[in-house]
Amino acid sequence: MKFVLSFIVLFSFVQFTNIQEISAQENVNYILKTDIPYRTQSEMQQDEYTAERCKLDVYFPKTTDSFTTVVWFHGGGIKNGNKSIPEKLKEKGIAVVAVNYRLSPKAKCPAYIDDAAAAVAWTFKNIENYGGDPSKIVVSGHSAGGYLASMIGLDKSWLANYQIEANDIAMLVPFSGHTITHFTVREEKGIDGKQPIIDKFAPLFHVREDAPPLVLITGDRELELLGRYEENAYMYRMMNVAGHKQTKLYELDAFNHGGMASPAFEILLNEIKILTEK
């Protein structure tokens, strides 16, 4: 089944300051903790760039218990970008863990994939301390962030390195992420960006029947980045061939690669209702 959707989206923005805890004057129901290291102290001390980038923010409801948590990876081609709490996920009764990870060319594959796994493992091991339910962890992200979400959710070895079972992820919701090997990974290997590769660094390489529920979302195939809809459609088909019964594919008509994120958040929130209503 392919879901082809058109959205008219009204934006509303809530301004938060970058502080450790949101003050009562701003919002008494949510707390923001920033720049929490997700790697060990020894790892942070060994490398200055690791110490700079391997941090996350936790935004969580103050008066709710057993809430759903969305781990969010920013985009930027694995070369740019910084963590932030998406506006559309604020004040929804859920927590958001926004993650920074090391970027190319300062870091090379697979460092940033391992960072993503370490951040998700940190969430599994720590979210109860904030009131969350570790059985309700959703992993998502846009573009490069969607690629990282799919990689660590489908290739179980990354989370296994941190004693976490990838199948314990409640849902994977990549926004317009590569399912072939990411173009930055290919660039690091001297492979042209127009040459598609499916190797162990491609989510498609790891299709499997027993994966967590997978919700693939892209923009309009005519407006998206080169081949992005088609490779996600192939992922959808191959997951079905592998016997996976919980893969969905959404194509957002009239939205390009950047613009598709806003309506995609509406899909994310709708899909995770099954968790938030438990």
- Per-residue pLDDT tens for 155-171? 999 999 999 999 999 99
Check whether the bond before 203 is cis (ω within 30° of 0): no
Tokens representing 13 are 């923005």
For the domain bounded by 2-10+67-276, which CATH number is listed?
Answer: 3.40.50.1820
- pLDDT for 231 equals 98
Once rounded to an integer, what is the mean pLDDT over residues 117-136?
Answer: 98
Strands 30-37 and 55-61: antiparallel
Q: Hey, what amino acid is at 75?
A: G
Q: What is the pLDDT of residue 104?
A: 98
Write out pLDDT tens, residues 3-24: 444 333 333 323 333 333 433 3
| Residue 42 neighbours by CB distance under 10 Å | 7
Amino acid 5: pLDDT: 41
Buried b (16+ CB within 10 A) or exposed e, 222-240: ebbbebbbebbbbbbeebe
Predicted local distance difference test score (pLDDT) of residue 28: 59
Cα–Cα distance list, 26 to 17, 30, 85, 92 (Å): 9, 9, 16, 16
**In the Cβ-directed half-sphere of 84, how many Cα atoms lie within 13 Å?**
12
Phi, then psi, of 33 in degrees rounded to 5: -110, 130
Angle 14-85-63 (CA atoms, 0-180°, nearest 5)?
A: 75
